[in-house]
């Protein structure tokens, strides 16, 4: 009796397996009753790209303005590595703006120390800046350098902050090609239209 029961169970299992295989092979549908929810992991969206760094070098009329000071070693005409990125950006701006034909690089000092020493140091620092730019591909003939020592302060030298502000390098555009446009207004649409464009070299005294 036991052997007959085992034979029956085995036969039944085989029959069920064959039926299931046939259903799948013939495109049948098998319904699973498991209702356990399935959690699907979704990758988080990538973080937004960081904004581009703010430009530190800008051309303003007859000047090139820097967003930060060029840093030098104490009492030397050695540009510190902290200012290399700024200097590289300055060289790039000059190369991308050939209409800026000549730039005067001017060194200035505070009234600390001897006047003659400050004059020499300011000239040396301006020359160091010029040499750096030439080394980065700016044409030599576009650059001149000079120093004024402590003779042209921006503010009073009565405080550390004032003296720090007076120690600086400035960039004056002494010759550039300026494009001028003649514009007329369309009486129908009110829009401006360029009818003439001229270019001329303008020179300025530093």
pLDDT by residue, tens only, the chain of 206 residues: 545 444 444 444 445 445 445 544 444 455 556 666 666 667 778 888 777 677 889 999 899 999 999 999 999 999 999 999 999 999 999 999 999 999 999 999 999 999 999 999 999 999 999 999 999 999 999 999 999 999 999 999 999 999 999 999 999 999 998 766 566 777 777 776 655 555 566 666 55
Residue 133, beta-bridge partner list = none
With beta carbons less than 8 A apart as the criterion, state whether 132 and 145 touch. Answer: no
Task: Report the CATH fold assignment for 57-203.
Answer: 60s Ribosomal Protein L30; Chain: A; (3.30.1330)
Structure letter (DSSP) for residue 158: S
pTM: 0.66
Distance from the Cα of residue 120 to its chain's centroid: 34
Longest dimension (CA), the chain: 123
């Amino acid at each position: 009796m036991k052997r007959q029961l085992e034979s029956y169970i085995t036969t039944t299992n085989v029959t069920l397996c064959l039926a299931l295989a046939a259903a799948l092979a013939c495109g049948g549908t098998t319904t699973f009753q498991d209702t356990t929810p399935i959690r699907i992991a979704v990758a988080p969206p990538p973080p937004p790209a960081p904004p581009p760094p703010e430009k530190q070098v800008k051309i303003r009329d007859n000047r090139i303005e820097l967003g930060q000071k060029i840093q030098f070693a104490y009492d030397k005409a050695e540009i510190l590595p902290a200012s290399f990125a700024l200097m590289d950006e300055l060289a790039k701006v000059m190369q991308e703006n050939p209409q800026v034909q000549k730039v005067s690089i001017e060194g200035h000092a505070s009234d600390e120390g001897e006047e003659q020493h400050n004059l020499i140091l300011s000239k040396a620092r301006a020359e160091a800046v010029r040499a750096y730019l030439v080394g980065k591909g700016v044409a030599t003939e576009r650059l001149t350098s000079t120093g004024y020592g402590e003779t042209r302060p921006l503010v009073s030298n009565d405080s550390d902050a004032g003296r720090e502000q007076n120690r600086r390098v400035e960039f004056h555009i002494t010759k550039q090609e300026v494009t001028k446009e003649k514009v007329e207004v369309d009486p129908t649409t009110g829009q401006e239209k360029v009818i003439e464009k001229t270019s001329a070299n303008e020179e300025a005294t530093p």
